[in-house]
C-alpha cells in the first residue's frame, strides 16, 4: 500500500483533511465573500444568530458580522500556525541534527541551550516576548516560533543519533563522504516522518497559542482573529453567548482537524506502529 | 448658556442645616457597601488626588464649600461667604463647633495652614492660588482671601478634592509625605477612618460629633476592592455591594444591571468634573498637522453611533472644547455632523496621499478598545488608513507625554469653569513634553492665548461669556483635537439607598446626606 492510500484509509484523518481543506478554502475566499472586511459595522449590535438570513451568525457588540470575523479569523489562524511552525522547524531541525550527529561538546552546548528555553513555561515566555516586542502579527508569529522549537530540536537529535548508528552510515563514512553530506543526504531524510507528524501537531498548538494571546488582549489590535473575538466577547458572555461560542467552535474544529491529520500521518508513516482495528 | 453670578451674595446659615429637612422621614443606621475601583494609592486627600482617593477621602475631608448640580456654591465648612464687588476680596465665615475626628477643635488656623500645605502638594490648587495675594485669619472663625487680580473661576476652587482642609495640629512642622498619620487620615467630614485591609476593603464609620445635627445617617461604609469588572457586576447582583460608582462595570453590563428589579441608576453627580473625551490629533507632523484633515476626521466619525452603542446612550455628543455642563458653554460654533462625503471632499482638497495614521486607544478596558475600533472603521470608510497602536497604561502615558502618536484617545475633567479645566489643553504655555494632562496636541494660536488669559481675569461675567464664545468658535473651526463625547458615568445602586447623589461631585461627597430605607 502506498503512503497516500494508507493515509486515506483512515477515516479520522480523512475527516481532518476535509475540515482543513474547508477552512483553507474559506480563508482564501474571505475577500470575495465579505469585501467590506471583518470590521464593517453592518447591522444593529447584538443581533441574535439565525434571525437574519444575511447575517446567519448574528452581530457583535458594535454590529459587526460574526461570520465575516470567523472567515477572516481563519486566515490569521492558518497563517500564524504555518509560518511559526516553519520558523520553529528552521531553528529546531538544524540544531537538533548537529547535536545528534556530532555529539560531545556540540551536543552538550546545544542541549543546554535548548533546556534553557524548555525550563520556562511556553505560554509565559510567549506573553513576555509579545509584550516586549509590541503586539503585531509578526511579533506574535516570532514569539510562538521561539517557544515551540525546543521539542523539535530534542526529537531531531534523538532520531539523528539512532540513525547515525546504522550500518549504512558507517558504509558512507568508509566511502569517504564528508560529514555534511552524510548528515544532509543520508541521515536527515530518514528522520523526516516523525518531524512531519510533529509539525502538523505544532500548527495546531500555534493556533491555540495565538488565540490565547489574542484572548488576553495581546493580539494585534488591527487583526480580526478567533482569539480576539472570544476575548472581546468575554465581558458580554452572559447576554450574548454566540459571540464567544462560534469562534470557539472554529478553534476546536481546526485544532481537531490538524490533530486527526497528524495521527493519520503517524499511522501512515509508521505502519508497524499503527494500531489495529482501523 | 449658564452664567455664574459673581455679585455679592450671602447664604443664610439656615441652609447648612436645611439640607436635612426632607418630606420623607429619614432613617438612621445600616451599613452600605460600595465599590472603589481601582484601589486608591492613599487616602490623605491633601497629598493624593486621583479619582478613587477622592471618592473615599471625600467623606473624611471637607473643604470650605460644596457645589450643587448647577455648580452653585453651597455651605460646607464655611457657613457663609462674601465676594467683594471688585472681585478682589473673599471673606468666609466658618461653621461653629466643628472638631477634627481626634477631638481637636477646627479653626481658621487650619484653613490658613491648609493653603500652605496644598501649595506644596497639589498642582491644581497651586494654579488657582497663583492669583492670591494673601490668606488671613482675623479671628478663629473668619478667613479673608485677598486677590492679586479678579479671577472669576476662583469661587469654583473650594471643592473637597480641589482644596481639602487638612489638620494643622497633625502636620505642622512634620515631613508631610512621610507623616505616619497619612495612614489613618483625620478630617472634619461626616465619616471617620477605621480600617483599610489592603486589597480587600476600606471601612469608614459615622462621625458621631459631626457639626450638622442628624447627619450622617448611615453607620458604616465599606469601600470594597474587586479587581475584575465581571466580578464587580456579580457582587452587585448578589447584593454584596449596593452601589456601583460610574465606570465600575463595563458599559455592556450597565443595561443588564439597571433592568434588574429594585435597581436605580443616575448619570447625575459628574457636573463638576464634566469628563470630556476627545482624540488628540498631533498638530505638529503627519497628515493630522493639516486642518483640512482634522476637519475630515470630525465629519467621518459617527459619534451618535458610539454614544448609543458603546455608551448605551449615556452622554452627549459635544459641540467643542467646553462641555455643555460647564459654565460659559456656547453652542454657537461650526457643527460637524456625521458626513462621510464631506470628509472625502476635504481629503481630496488637501491631497491626502494615503499615509497611514496611528491611533492610540486609552487602555481602560473593553469599552475604550471597541470605541477605537469604531473610529478606525469610520475613518477607513472615508479612505484614511488607520493602524491601532497598543499600549498599557504606562505605555499610553509615555507615548502621549512624548508626543509619539498621530491620534490618541483621552478624557479630562473640566472643574466647572473653562479657565480651570479647558484652557490647559489649548494654550501654548501648556505645551510641555513629559505630561499627558496639557496641550499634548501642540495647538498654537497666539490670538486665542491672549483671549484665554483675558477671559480668566475678567470680573464681568457677560464679557467673559462673550470671550469664551469667540474662543469656542475659533477652536472648533481649527479642530486641534477631535471631540468625541461628554461622558456620563451612570452610578448604579439599590433603590432603597436614598439621597445618594445630591451634589455636582456625586459620590465623592454624597454619603453625608444618604440614608438607607429598611
CA distance A80 to chain B (A): 19
Of the residues A41, A64, A72, the best mutation for testing chain B's interface (the one with the most B CB atoms within 10 Å of its CB) is A41
CA distance A218 to chain B (A): 9
Contact of A114 with A108, CB cutoff 8 Å: no
pLDDT more than 70, % of chain A = 97
Contact of B168 with B110, CB cutoff 8 Å: yes
Least CA distance to B234: which residue of chain A?
Answer: A238
Torsion B402-B404-B406-B409 (CA) sign: negative
Of B229, B256, B373, the CB nearest to A39: B373
Calculate the alpha carbon distances from B425 to A92, B407, B440 in Å.
Answer: 54, 15, 7
Residues of A with CB under 8 A from a CB of B: 39-41, 45, 61-63, 134-135, 217, 220-222, 232, 234-236, 238-239
Q: Write out the three cell numbers for A181.
A: 553530506
CA distance A24 to chain B (A): 26
Of the residues A136, A221, A229, the best mutation for testing chain B's interface (the one with the most B CB atoms within 10 Å of its CB) is A221
State how far the Cα of B392 lies from the Cα of B381, in Å rounded to an integer. 28
pLDDT tens digits, chain B, 518 residues: what are they? 444 443 334 443 334 444 444 445 788 888 999 999 888 888 988 888 778 889 999 999 999 999 998 888 999 999 999 998 888 999 999 999 899 999 999 999 999 999 988 888 887 788 888 889 999 999 999 999 999 988 888 888 899 988 999 999 999 888 888 888 888 999 999 999 999 999 899 999 999 999 998 889 999 999 999 988 888 999 999 999 999 998 888 888 888 898 888 999 998 889 999 999 999 999 999 999 999 999 999 999 999 999 999 998 889 999 999 999 888 999 999 999 999 999 999 999 999 999 999 999 998 888 899 999 999 999 999 999 999 998 888 888 889 989 999 999 999 888 888 988 898 899 998 888 877 778 999 999 999 999 999 998 888 889 999 999 999 999 999 999 999 999 988 999 999 998 999 999 999 988 999 999 88
List the Cα angle B71/B73/B77 in 5-degree steps: 135
Least CA distance to A224: which residue of chain B?
Answer: B373
Chain A positions in Cβ-Cβ contact with residue B387 (cut-off 8 Å): 222
pLDDT band at A271 (very low <50, low <70, confident <90, very high): low
Contact of A75 with A27, CB cutoff 8 Å: yes
State how far the Cα of B337 lies from the Cα of B384, in Å rounded to an integer. 18
Of A41, A135, A232, the CB nearest to B390: A135
**What integer pLDDT is reported at residue B24 of this predicted model?**
57
**What integer pLDDT is reported at residue B17 of this predicted model?**
41
Phi, then psi, of A193 in degrees rounded to 5? -60, -50
Of A63, A217, A234, the CB nearest to B309: A63
- Dmax (CA) of chain A: 76
Chain A positions in Cβ-Cβ contact with residue B374 (cut-off 8 Å): 41, 62
CA distance A240 to chain B (A): 10
Question: What's the alpha-carbon Rg for chain A, to the nearest Å?
Answer: 22
Q: Do B380 and A235 touch (CB under 8 A)?
A: no
Chain A positions in Cβ-Cβ contact with residue B230 (cut-off 8 Å): 234-235
Q: Do A41 and B374 touch (CB under 8 A)?
A: yes
Mean pLDDT across the stretch A77-83? Answer: 94
Least CA distance to B307: which residue of chain A?
Answer: A62
Task: State the ipTM, two decimals.
Answer: 0.85
Q: Do B390 and A239 touch (CB under 8 A)?
A: no
Chain B positions in Cβ-Cβ contact with residue A40 (cut-off 8 Å): 377
Of B250, B374, B388, the CB nearest to A221: B388
Least CA distance to B360: which residue of chain A?
Answer: A221
Of the residues A36, A39, A44, A62, the best mutation for testing chain B's interface (the one with the most B CB atoms within 10 Å of its CB) is A62
Q: Do A222 and B388 touch (CB under 8 A)?
A: yes
Q: Do B370 and A232 touch (CB under 8 A)?
A: yes
Torsion A171-A173-A176-A182 (CA) sign: positive
Q: pLDDT averaged over chain A?
A: 90
Q: Do A232 and B310 touch (CB under 8 A)?
A: no
List, in sequence order, every residue forming a beta bridge with B220; answer none if it has no partner.
B31, B205
| pLDDT over 60 (residue A277) | no
Q: Do B256 and A238 touch (CB under 8 A)?
A: yes
B252-286 as b/e: b if 16+ CB within 10 A: bbbeebeeeeebebebbbbbbbbbbbbbbbbbeeb
**What integer pLDDT is reported at residue B2 of this predicted model?**
40
Least CA distance to B250: which residue of chain A?
Answer: A235
Least CA distance to B229: which residue of chain A?
Answer: A235
**What integer pLDDT is reported at residue A275 of this predicted model?**
53
Of A41, A45, A239, the CB nearest to B377: A41
Higher pLDDT, A239 or B12: A239
Interface size between A and B, measured as CB pairs under 8 A: 50
CA distance B410 to chain A (A): 18
**What integer pLDDT is reported at residue B319 of this predicted model?**
95
- pTM, two decimal places: 0.84
Amino acid at each position: 500500500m502506498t503512503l497516500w492510500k494508507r493515509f486515506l484509509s483512515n477515516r479520522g484523518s480523512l475527516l481532518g483533511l476535509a475540515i482543513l481543506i474547508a477552512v483553507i478554502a474559506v480563508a482564501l475566499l474571505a475577500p470575495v465573500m465579505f469585501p467590506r472586511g471583518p470590521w464593517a459595522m453592518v447591522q444593529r449590535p447584538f443581533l441574535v444568530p439565525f434571525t437574519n438570513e444575511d447575517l446567519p451568525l448574528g452581530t457583535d457588540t458594535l454590529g459587526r458580522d460574526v461570520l465575516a470575523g470567523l472567515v477572516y479569523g481563519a486566515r490569521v489562524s492558518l497563517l500564524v500556525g504555518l509560518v511559526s511552525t516553519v520558523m520553529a522547524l528552521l531553528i529546531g531541525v538544524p540544531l537538533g541534527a548537529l547535536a545528534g550527529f556530532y555529539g560531545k561538546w556540540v551536543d552538550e552546548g546545544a542541549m543546554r541551550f535548548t533546556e534553557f528555553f524548555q525550563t520556562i513555561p511556553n505560554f509565559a515566555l510567549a506573553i513576555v516576548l509579545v509584550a516586549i516586542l509590541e503586539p503585531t502579527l509578526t511579533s506574535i508569529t516570532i514569539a510562538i516560533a521561539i517557544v515551540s522549537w525546543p521539542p523539535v530540536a530534542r526529537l531531531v537529535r534523538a532520531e539523528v543519533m539512532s540513525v547515525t548508528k546504522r550500518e549504512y552510515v558507517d558504509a558512507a563514512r568508509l566511502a569517504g563522504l564528508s560529514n555534511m553530506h552524510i548528515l544532509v543526504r543520508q541521515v536527515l531524510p530518514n528522520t523526516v516522518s516523525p518531524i512531519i507528524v510533529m509539525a502538523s501537531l505544532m500548527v495546531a498548538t500555534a493556533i491555540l497559542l495565538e488565540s490565547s494571546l489574542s484572548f488576553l488582549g495581546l493580539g494585534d489590535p488591527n487583526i480580526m482573529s478567533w482569539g480576539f473575538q472570544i476575548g472581546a466577547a468575554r465581558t458580554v458572555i452572559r447576554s450574548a453567548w454566540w459571540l464567544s461560542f462560534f469562534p470557539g467552535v472554529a478553534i476546536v474544529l481546526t485544532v481537531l482537524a490538524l490533530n486527526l491529520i497528524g495521527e493519520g500521518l503517524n499511522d501512515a508513516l509508521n505502519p508497524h506502529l499503527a494500531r489495529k482495528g482501523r | 448658556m449658564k452664567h455664574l453670578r459673581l455679585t455679592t451674595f450671602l447664604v443664610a446659615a439656615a441652609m447648612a442645616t436645611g439640607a436635612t429637612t426632607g418630606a420623607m422621614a429619614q432613617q438612621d443606621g445600616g451599613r452600605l457597601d460600595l465599590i472603589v475601583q481601582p484601589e486608591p494609592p492613599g487616602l490623605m486627600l491633601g497629598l493624593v488626588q486621583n479619582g478613587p482617593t477622592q471618592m473615599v477621602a471625600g467623606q473624611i475631608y471637607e473643604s470650605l464649600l460644596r457645589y450643587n448640580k448647577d455648580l452653585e456654591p453651597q455651605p460646607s465648612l464655611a457657613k457663609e461667604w462674601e465676594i467683594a464687588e471688585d472681585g478682589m476680596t473673599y471673606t468666609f465665615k466658618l461653621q461653629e463647633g466643628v472638631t477634627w475626628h481626634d477631638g481637636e477643635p477646627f479653626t481658621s488656623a487650619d484653613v490658613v495652614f491648609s493653603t500652605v500645605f496644598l501649595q506644596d502638594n497639589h498642582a491644581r490648587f497651586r494654579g488657582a492660588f497663583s492669583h492670591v495675594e494673601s490668606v488671613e485669619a482675623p479671628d478663629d472663625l473668619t478667613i479673608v482671601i485677598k486677590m492679586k487680580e479678579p479671577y472669576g473661576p476662583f469661587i469654583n476652587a473650594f471643592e473637597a478634592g480641589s482644596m481639602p482642609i487638612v489638620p494643622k495640629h497633625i502636620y505642622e512642622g512634620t515631613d508631610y509625605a512621610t507623616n505616619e498619620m497619612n495612614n489613618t487620615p483625620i478630617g472634619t467630614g461626616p465619616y471617620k477612618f477605621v480600617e483599610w485591609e489592603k486589597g480587600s476593603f476600606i471601612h469608614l464609620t459615622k462621625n458621631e460629633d459631626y457639626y450638622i445635627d442628624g447627619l450622617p445617617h448611615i453607620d458604616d461604609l465599606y469601600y470594597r476592592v474587586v479587581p475584575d469588572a465581571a466580578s464587580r457586576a456579580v457582587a452587585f447582583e448578589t447584593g454584596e455591594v449596593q452601589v456601583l460608582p460610574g465606570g465600575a462595570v463595563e458599559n455592556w453590563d450597565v443595561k443588564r444591571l439597571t433592568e434588574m428589579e429594585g435597581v436605580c441608576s443616575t448619570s447625575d453627580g459628574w457636573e463638576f468634573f464634566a469628563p470630556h473625551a476627545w482624540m488628540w490629533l498631533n498638530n505638529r507632523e503627519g497628515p493630522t498637522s493639516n486642518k483640512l484633515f482634522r476637519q475630515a476626521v470630525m465629519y467621518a466619525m459617527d459619534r451618535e453611533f458610539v454614544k448609543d452603542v458603546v455608551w448605551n446612550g449615556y452622554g452627549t455628543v459635544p459641540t467643542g472644547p467646553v462641555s455643555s455642563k460647564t459654565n460659559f458653554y456656547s453652542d454657537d460654533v461650526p457643527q460637524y455632523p456625521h458626513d462621510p462625503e464631506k470628509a472625502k471632499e476635504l481629503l481630496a482638497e488637501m491631497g491626502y496621499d494615503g499615509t497611514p495614521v496611528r491611533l492610540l486607544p486609552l487602555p481602560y478596558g473593553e469599552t475604550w478598545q471597541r470605541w477605537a475600533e469604531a473610529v478606525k472603521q469610520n475613518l477607513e470608510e472615508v479612505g484614511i488608513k488607520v493602524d491601532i497602536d497598543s499600549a498599557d497604561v504606562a505605555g499610553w502615558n509615555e507615548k502621549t507625554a512624548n508626543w509619539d502618536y498621530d491620534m490618541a484617545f483621552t478624557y479630562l475633567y473640566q472643574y466647572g469653569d473653562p479657565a480651570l479645566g479647558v484652557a490647559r489643553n489649548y494654550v501654548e504655555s501648556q505645551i510641555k513634553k513629559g505630561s499627558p494632562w496639557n496641550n499634548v496636541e501642540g495647538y498654537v494660536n497666539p490670538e486665542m492665548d491672549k483671549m484665554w488669559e483675558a477671559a480668566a481675569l475678567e470680573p464681568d461675567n457677560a464679557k467673559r461669556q462673550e470671550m469664551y464664545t469667540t474662543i469656542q468658535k475659533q477652536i472648533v473651526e481649527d479642530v486641534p483635537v477631535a471631540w468625541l463625547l461628554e461622558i456620563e458615568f451612570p452610578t448604579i445602586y439599590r433603590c432603597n439607598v436614598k439621597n445618594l447623589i445630591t451634589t455636582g461631585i456625586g459620590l465623592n461627597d454624597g454619603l453625608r446626606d444618604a440614608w438607607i430605607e429598611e
